Amino acid sequence: MQLWKHILFAILYCTLALFSIVEHWFVWFLAAHTLFCLLHMFTVFREDWLVKSRLKEFTSNARNEAVIVLPSVDWHNPLAWFKPNSHMYEIEAILRFAQRRKKTFSVSIGPSFDEVERIMAEKSVKEVYFVGHGGSHCFRLGTTEILCYCAFNDPVKYAKDFVHQVHCGTSYGKSLINYVVPQENREKCFFIPKEINSYDIVSKFKELEAAS
């Protein structure tokens, strides 16, 4: 095969991969490419390790003014190897935003529903970040466990100054922000009612920081 054909094939191949990532079809792209599949699985595992290593320096599961909630990972479930909960640069963007707000904050990784309920009911916790996967009305507590935000449909018991839903949203369903955050603060919360990627997350936090 002539050199120009190799170059053309490489360009088309990379274009397909990029388009698959942008359109959230990357899992299907990987399924047809064993080497890329194995590389992606290693990358997901390494990314999870890097995130947890980075967060070790922060107080874990304490009831500070702000709490960052991240889901657990069930490595026995194949989905966990293909769909990371978060990426390192997303976590760095969240930490920068949280630190610049000059509030004490802690990190809760893999909490149960009861533990999340305690965080939401704790009056000393004024701000909560839900980081991972979900929709406008729900959040993945683990690889398969789903938390429905309507469980906190009590604006007195679960009142929060700010809630940041750092995951995908939808054009339908009531967000946790609408359940527990006062009207005047809702525009200051992280919420995007569509599928999002790392670029969207970093950009949104920059926007919120500039507006604060």
Q: Is residue 48 part of a domain?
A: no
- Could you tell me the CATH number of the domain that includes residue 108? 3.40.50
Q: Is residue 184 part of a domain?
A: yes
Residue written as tokens 């929709």? 135
The predicted-structure confidence for 63-94, as pLDDT tens digits, reads as follows 689 999 999 888 888 878 878 888 888 999 99
Domain contains 93:
yes
What phi and psi values does residue 157 have, to the nearest 5 degrees?
-65, -40
The answer to whether residue 155 sits within a structural domain is yes
Alpha-carbon distance of 148 to 162, in angstroms, equals 18
Domain tally for the chain?
1
Residue range of the domain that includes 121: 59-211
Measured CA to CA, the distance from residue 104 to residue 64 in angstroms comes to 6
CB 69 within 8 Å of CB 122: no
Q: Is residue 177 a part of any domain in this protein?
A: yes
Model pLDDT, residue 2: 46
Q: Is residue 19 situated within a structural domain?
A: no
Domain-located, residue 69: yes
C-alpha distances out from residue 141 to 1, 133, 155, Å: 50, 9, 22
- Whether residue 123 lies inside any domain: the answer is yes
Which residue is it, tokens 């990190």? Answer: 107
pLDDT digit string (tens) for the chain, length 212 residues: 445 555 666 676 666 666 655 555 555 555 556 666 677 788 888 888 988 888 887 767 666 899 999 998 888 888 788 788 888 889 999 999 988 887 888 999 989 999 999 999 999 999 999 999 999 999 999 878 899 999 999 999 999 999 999 999 998 889 999 999 999 999 999 999 999 988 999 999 999 988 87
